[in-house]
Amino acid sequence: MKTIINRDFTRLWYGQAVSKVGDYVFNTTLVLWIATKLGNGKSWAPIAVSGVLISGLLAMFAIAPAAGVFADRWNRKRTMLRMDAVRAVLVGGLAIVSFLPADKLPVGIWLTVIYAVVFAVNAAGTFFGPSRMAVVPDVVNGPEEIAKAAGITQSTDALAGMIGPPLAAPLLFAAGVQWAIIINALSYVVSFLAIRSVPIPDNAPTAEAIAESGFWTEFKAGLAFFARTRVLIVVIVSACIANFGGQAMNTLDVFFTTQNLHSAPKLYGLLGMAAGAGAIAGGLLSTRAVARIGTVNTVWTTVGASGILILVYARQTSIWAAIPIVFAGLLPIGMANAAFEPLVIQVTPRAMLGRVVSVLMPFISVTQLGSTVLIGWLMSTVMLHFHTDVAGLHMGPIDTMFTITGLLFILAGFYAFVMLPRKDTAVPSNQLDASAL
């Protein structure tokens, strides 16, 4: 196998690539299983499907803040291995249960089991994610390779999002739900074996140090560091502003396709493919952007550029014109997402990375959930019959919301431009004095 950056990162990368594809297959399979099998023709099916999302979010809200402390306390390699093992067993167990005929158990029991597994798998992920991000500086050398690793990871996640969902439907309907679930269980095994072969230094503090500090002391120290570090505050505010608008687009894009672009629903997938391709290209190009203009400038310029392209997208009336704009719009978003990770690593002491990441994740998830709920309410009430003319342009409900999304991205980029330092922090994160920030 050809190495990416180096042999150790390559093994870490391909384990996570397989695991990500498995996750997308798993999540899509559960949604289809509930919608087309367990809840087929039932009025409660949409609510039951939303329970999958809610279960994952609840795990993040309840577990992630505490998980960050333990991710900093525990040996990160062992943490990742244990979480992969836990997830493989949980998903494998669900696969075994799914071999039962659907009518052998009440629907309520099926849904309870599914939600419990989703909650537990996502809870394990809150320990795994911060640990994996924190070991990247251990397997690559210096800020340039950290930025390259982030770009590759971002592109891989986008590619997994393109590959996983299309695999789920034929697996479910041709082979059965069991085999789609088994694929995800096996993906965690692949990740486990890949990580096991990577030499990672022991980061765990001594037992004496842990006993002296205590859980709550470390938890509050992480929150205090986050609150007094300007770069992290700017990152989370900018990310929440952009994600609030971005989630609105995710919610309404299928309706935009049929109503504004006047296209058949079956063509909606073309927009998803264009978005995925743009995110992949953006992730790969992010390394060059960071090397040329720096991490800070990459963040605010790409977020702002995405906003401008979203404004253009909102005015489209043909899917064939919209497809290249979607690709172009997701390209800077992919670059921005890839630049955020090295920026966070750059300003965070290695001993606090777990806690910092575990603050970022719930905030963004809450923002996305809030956006979904608000947009659903607005489009069903205030914006239901909204139409107006602005500067000679006719504005309907969906393109108005997309225009607001573009303006939110521009606002997020402008806020980052004003508030972030003009130059990248040059001090290595493992030597960074938290009190100096």
Query: In the listed set 204, 236, 255, which residue is the last one of a domain according to the structure?
Result: 204
Residues 344, 233 share a domain: yes
Residue numbers of the domain that contains 48: 1-204
- Joined tokens for residue 223: 């929150």
Q: What pLDDT does 115 receive?
A: 93
Q: How many angstroms separate the CA atoms of 371 and 251, rounded? A: 9
CATH number for the domain that contains residue 404: 1.20.1250.20
Residues 395, 334 share a domain: yes
Low-confidence ranges of the chain (pLDDT < 50): 426-437
Query: In the listed set 177, 204, 231, which residue is the last one of a domain according to the structure?
Result: 204
In this structure, what are the phi and psi dihedrals at residue 169, rounded to the nearest 5 degrees?
A: -60, -50
Region of residue 202 (phi > 0: left; psi between -120 and 50: alpha; otherwise: beta): beta
- Joined tokens for residue 347: 């300003």
In this structure, what are the phi and psi dihedrals at residue 106, rounded to the nearest 5 degrees?
A: -60, 150
Q: How many angstroms separate the CA atoms of 284 and 384, rounded? A: 40
Residues 183, 264 share a domain: no
Q: Residue 211: is it exposed, middle or buried by C-beta count within 10 angstroms (0-12/13-18/19+)?
A: exposed
How many domains are there within the chain? 2
Q: How many angstroms separate the CA atoms of 154 and 13, rounded? A: 11
Residues 86, 36 share a domain: yes
* Helical (H) or strand (E) element with 388: strand 388-390
Query: In the listed set 204, 230, 261, which residue is the last one of a domain according to the structure?
Result: 204
Q: What is the pLDDT of residues 96-139, one digit of tens each?
A: 998 888 778 888 899 999 999 999 999 999 899 888 888 888 88
Q: What pLDDT does 170 receive?
A: 81
Residues 326, 244 share a domain: yes
Residues 235, 150 share a domain: no
Q: What pLDDT does 425 receive?
A: 53
Torsion sign over Cα 366, 367, 372, 378: positive
Residues 369, 228 share a domain: yes
Q: Are 150 and 339 in contact (CB under 8 A)?
A: yes
Residues 219, 197 share a domain: no
In this structure, what are the phi and psi dihedrals at residue 140, rounded to the nearest 5 degrees?
A: -125, 170
Cβ atoms < 10 Å from Cβ of 284: 20
Residues 329, 190 share a domain: no
Residues 287, 199 share a domain: no
pTM exceeds cut of 0.85: no
Q: How many angstroms separate the CA atoms of 53 and 317, rounded? A: 32
Cβ atoms < 10 Å from Cβ of 152: 21
Residues 230, 192 share a domain: no
Residues 145, 259 share a domain: no
